[in-house]
Amino acid sequence: ADVWALSSYTENFGIAVVEALACGLPSVISPAVNLAPEIERERAAVVAELRPEAFAEAIGDLLTDEGRRQELATAARAFAKGYDWPEIAPRLCELYRAVAAGGP
């Protein structure tokens, strides 16, 4: 795909978004995707308003800008690495240890 898009009105986590980013797909998502603030902060995808015109414009802009797609692909892969098991598993183990020990 040249561009991947999720124009969701409600998306609690958006695993499909992380999968698309892991593949390096330049993406356009809505602010209703729960990860949108983090994704936008890392400039890993375009977060576009859910108005049809605005969303379509964001997709069109990416389709005509190869350089921007390349930038997003690089940032997308870097963002998605934070959700790889080698990154998540140690944090989960530490959380479970803390809970088992009566901590937070």
pLDDT computed for residue 12 by the predictor:
83
CB atoms within 10 A of CB 33: 25
CB atoms within 10 A of CB 10: 8
* 8 A C-beta contact, residue 80 and residue 38: no
Structure pTM? 0.84
Beta bridge partners of 69: none
pLDDT tens per residue, range 47-56: 999 999 999 9
Given a cut of 70, is residue 104 above it in pLDDT? no
Beta bridge partners of 27: 4
Q: Percent of the chain scored above 70 by pLDDT?
A: 98
Dig out the tokens for 42 from the structure.
């890392």
